[in-house]
Structure formats: structure tokens, C-alpha cells
Chain A
Amino acid sequence: MNALRRDASVALAVARKDAIAELRGRHATVSTLFFAGIVLLLFGFALGPDADRLAAAAPGLLWLAVVFAGILAVSRLHLLETDDGALEHLALYPVSRQAIYAGKAIGGFAVMLLIAVLVLVAVGILFAVDVLGAWPALLATAVLGAAGVAAVGTFYAGITVRLRAREVMLPLLMLPVLAPLLLGAVKATAAALAGDPFGELGAWLQLLVAFDVIMIVAGAATYGYLLEDG
């Protein structure tokens, strides 16, 4: 119980530290959001100007933009740890590795959720999709999707932050793993926007929950090894 409380305070300290740095430096969110906006705009050019076609493609575009932006965001959050050897020091503290993973993932989740919600709003405006009508289901999808990207991203950014070719390797390793999350989130969003005519929304949300739980457990179990591989 005591150990659990200590882990929780360590995780919160790590997340809080990332949040403070983010609020002051804005390394991850502003540029990443801008990037997501550009991606949406380019999708519009690539598929438009037929409004119906854009509205039909909106769920897919939304989540592609979120996932692409997510790669940048988690990468930025880990680059923070390269401030003067911080990652090495983080590994040297006598704390459980799961707590460090949880802290980094919570920080990543907060950033990802912000990105997902803002991109959702942008999609509503740009592609004339009624996002307000189905907001509870869309918010649930955004939360689960953001958690999944954060869980996987924290983990892969932890590996690639020490690689020479990290800009290439992070998306290359992360995107195939995120494929089921992309499927689930796109389908859930499409179902929610259409008013769930086939009653499949619940199943897709369950898939996202399963993905999140499995990836969080796997990430927490292995993060320590990558933190220690120096």
C-alpha cells in the first residue's frame, strides 16, 4: 500500500514536471496542433472539393491527423528528457520503472487528448460534420484513442529517443502497432456520427478499451528494460 502510494506520487511528479515544462516551453502541443491542421487542410485538397465525399471520409481523416500529430507529440515529450542527460538520471532514481512509465504516459495522454479534441472541432468546421450532436460518444472515442496513442507512443519514443535514426524509426515502428487503434477509432467515430444505425459503437469502444489495456500492461512491463539499456 505504501509502495503503491509512492509509485503514484512518482508518476504524478513525472507527469507534473512534463506539464510544467510543456506549459512554459510549449514544445509538444502548439507545433503539433499546427501540423495536424495542415494535414487536415491537405486531406481536404487531396479529396475535395466534393463536400459529401469529405464528410464521408472525415472520421478517417480525423484519426490519421491525430495519429500523425501524436507521433510528433510523444517524440517531443521524450526529447525533453534529453535536456542535458535527463533520461539517464531518470533511470537512476530508486523508483519503480512502472511509475516512470505511468508518469510519462499520463503526460502524453493529456497532450493527446487536447490534440484529439481540437482536431475533432477542426474536422467539424472544415468538413461540415455535426460533431456536437454525438459529443458523448465522440469524447469517449477521443479519450480511448488518446490513451492508446499515449501508451504506445511513450513506449516507442523511449526506444527511439536514443537512436540515431529516431525520426524515421518512431513512425516506422509505431504506425503498424497503432493500426487496430486506428481502425477502432475511425469506425467508432463513423458510427457515432451516423447515429449508430447498426448498434456497433459499443463493440468498437470495447476494442479500443482492450487495445489500451493490453498496450498499457505490455508497456509498463517492458519500459524498465529500455530505460536501463543505456
Chain B
Amino acid sequence: MPQTTIYVSPRSLGAPDRRPPAVATAELARLFAGSPALAGVTMTIQGGRAIALLGPNGAGKTTLLRIVSTAIRPSYGSVEVDGLHLNRDAAAIRERVAYLSHATGLYDDLSARENLAFAATMIGTPDAASRVARALADVGLEARAEDRVGTFSAGMRKRLALGRILLGSPSLVLLDEPYAALDVDGMTLVDDLLAAWREVGVTVLVASHAVGRLEPLLDGRVVLERGLVVDVHGEGVKHVPPAPPAAVRPAVAGAAR
């Protein structure tokens, strides 16, 4: 599938040097049931860059993506997306971010087309019917468009979830293990998408284990381990090691010390 066929909706993003950082976190930490999934991440990701989030299972990659997507709130620290603060401007952030998570968020009883049509209404996609048809074609699900998603394999679900991202015009795309469950064609599709987004200046943050495959497609990489950034390479990403304890600020007021 040649990459030129994929329709990635453009968005006016401003000159690269004048864009605010696509993602800026300060001492970001999140606990689940008292145990830290992120233990204090301070980094900035430059707008328009494609960055890999690497690290073993349980390193905090998914937690970081979920926080940036506004799905969950941080326990400590702060996040800004395109200069918008997570606590104040979550609604504006949602308009700019597209998120492919582990869970596809698709409805089993709806067909592929119905799922995308629903998403198009929710996103507010103009010209929805033709955009849905286009996205279905782009992810290679045209033939199964009228089938219920409950009958789909994991790989097909993943393709459909990718198609949903194509319905919006995000400035930041978050991908959590995009290659997982996909066949060879599907993996090529992800490669093409990454290239297409990069071309139009969309920032991409992709959590993956497929280091070798991603290497040529990306500008830089961040390595997480046990909730902390342990290494940073390449361009477009900066990282500050954890500050002393006093610098960790609760995300809400009135957290007792």
C-alpha cells in the first residue's frame, strides 16, 4: 500500500520553530492503588517530531500516554500539550489529540462502518460518510465494512482503531503498541501512517517494543524504566533527571504532607 493513498487530514500547525512543545511534563507521577506507575518524569517533546517510548513491560509507557490523552489525571506534577495545561484545558487538548490504546474502544454489536460513523459524529468530522469510506479503504477493511466488529480478529480491530484516528485532524497522535496483533501488511500500514503524519508535521508519540522497525521512521526516543526516564536519544526530545524530593508537587491542592 503506497503511503500517498492514505488521507491524513492537515491541520494548521504553525511554523515548527514557533510551535510550543507538543508535550511538556514536569515531575509527572501517577500511582495506582498506592504503587507508582510513573515516578517523576520531566521532559519536553518538540512539535512535529516522531518519538518512540521504549522500555520493558511496566515501565510506565501506557500510563504516560493515558495521562497525555486526558484519560487519567496525574497524581503529581503537570502536563502541557501544545501549550495547553491539562488541568485547565482538557477539552481543548481532546480536540488535538488522537489516541490508539491497547483497548480499541470499539463496539462489538456495531459494524465496522457504524463504529467509524459513530466516531465521526463524536469527533465532528466534516463530510463524514465519505471520510469514513476513505478511512475504511485506507486501513484495508472495505470488504468487511458491514460486518459486526464482534466477529473481527485482534488485528482487524487494530486496523479499525487506526482508521478511527484518520477521521480527526490531530496535532498529536499517541500510539500504544501499534504493531501488536497486526500481520505484515498491517505493520506496513502503520509504517506508512507514521511517515504520512511526519510529513504533515503531526507530532507522534509511539510506545513500542519494535525498536528496529521504528528506528528509521522516528526522530528520537525516550527509554522508560520503572516509571522514570533512563535514557534519551535523537532529536526533538529533552529530559531533566528527577529533582530532589521537595520539587515533587501534588497535582491537587490540600494533599497533606
Chains A and B touch each other in the complex, with CB atoms below 8 Å apart: yes
A residues within 8 Å of B by Cβ? 6, 9-10, 13, 17, 20-21, 24-25, 80, 83-86, 88-95, 228-230
Question: B103's closest neighbor in chain A, by CB?
Answer: A85
Question: B92's closest neighbor in chain A, by CB?
Answer: A94
Interface-centre pick from B69, B107, B114 (highest chain A CB count, 10 A): B107
CB distance A17 to B101 under 8 Å? no
Interface-centre pick from A9, A20, A93 (highest chain B CB count, 10 A): A93
CB distance B71 to A21 under 8 Å? no
Question: Could you list 9 A-B pairs, sorted by A, with CB under 8 Å?
Answer: A10-B121, A20-B109, A20-B114, A80-B107, A84-B103, A90-B122, A93-B123, A94-B124, A228-B73
Given the interface contacts A21-B107, A228-B90, does A94 sit within 8 Å of B95 by beta carbon?
Answer: yes
**Could you say which interface size class chain B belongs to?**
20 to 34
Distance (whole angstroms) from the CB of B36 to the closest CB of chain A? 16
A94: chain B residues at CB < 8 Å are: 91, 94-95, 122-124
> Which among B69, B91, B109 is the interface contact of A25 at CB below 8 angstroms?
B109
CA distance in complex: A85, B107 (Å) = 9
> Which among A10, A21, A84 is the interface contact of B122 at CB below 8 angstroms?
A10
Question: A12's closest neighbor in chain B, by CB?
Answer: B121
CA distance in complex: A230, B86 (Å) = 14
CA distance in complex: A24, B91 (Å) = 33
CA distance in complex: A21, B107 (Å) = 8
> Which among A21, A83, A92 is the interface contact of B69 at CB below 8 angstroms?
A92
CB distance A85 to B102 under 8 Å? yes
CB distance A20 to B104 under 8 Å? no
Distance (whole angstroms) from the CB of A158 to the closest CB of chain B? 15
CB distance B105 to A17 under 8 Å? no
B195: chain A residues at CB < 8 Å are: none
B residues within 8 Å of A by Cβ? 66, 69-73, 90-91, 94-95, 97, 99, 101-110, 114, 118-119, 121-124, 148, 157
B105: chain A residues at CB < 8 Å are: 83-86, 88-90
Distance (whole angstroms) from the CB of B254 to the closest CB of chain A? 17
CB distance B118 to A17 under 8 Å? yes
Distance (whole angstroms) from the CB of B198 to the closest CB of chain A? 23
B157: chain A residues at CB < 8 Å are: 84
Distance (whole angstroms) from the CB of B69 to the closest CB of chain A? 6
Question: B30's closest neighbor in chain A, by CB?
Answer: A230
B72: chain A residues at CB < 8 Å are: 230
CB distance A85 to B104 under 8 Å? yes
Question: B70's closest neighbor in chain A, by CB?
Answer: A92
A6: chain B residues at CB < 8 Å are: 124
> Which among B101, B110, B114, B119 is the interface contact of A85 at CB below 8 angstroms?
B101
A92: chain B residues at CB < 8 Å are: 69-71, 94, 97, 99
Given the interface contacts A13-B122, A24-B148, does A83 sit within 8 Å of B106 by beta carbon?
Answer: yes
A20: chain B residues at CB < 8 Å are: 109-110, 114
CB distance A88 to B71 under 8 Å? yes
CB distance A88 to B123 under 8 Å? no
Distance (whole angstroms) from the CB of B124 to the closest CB of chain A? 7
CA distance in complex: A89, B121 (Å) = 14
Given the interface contacts A85-B102, A88-B103, does A93 sit within 8 Å of B122 by beta carbon?
Answer: yes
Given the interface contacts A20-B110, A21-B107, A83-B106, does A88 sit within 8 Å of B101 by beta carbon?
Answer: yes
A93: chain B residues at CB < 8 Å are: 94, 119, 122-123
CA distance in complex: A95, B121 (Å) = 10
Distance (whole angstroms) from the CB of A126 to the closest CB of chain B? 33
Distance (whole angstroms) from the CB of B183 to the closest CB of chain A? 20
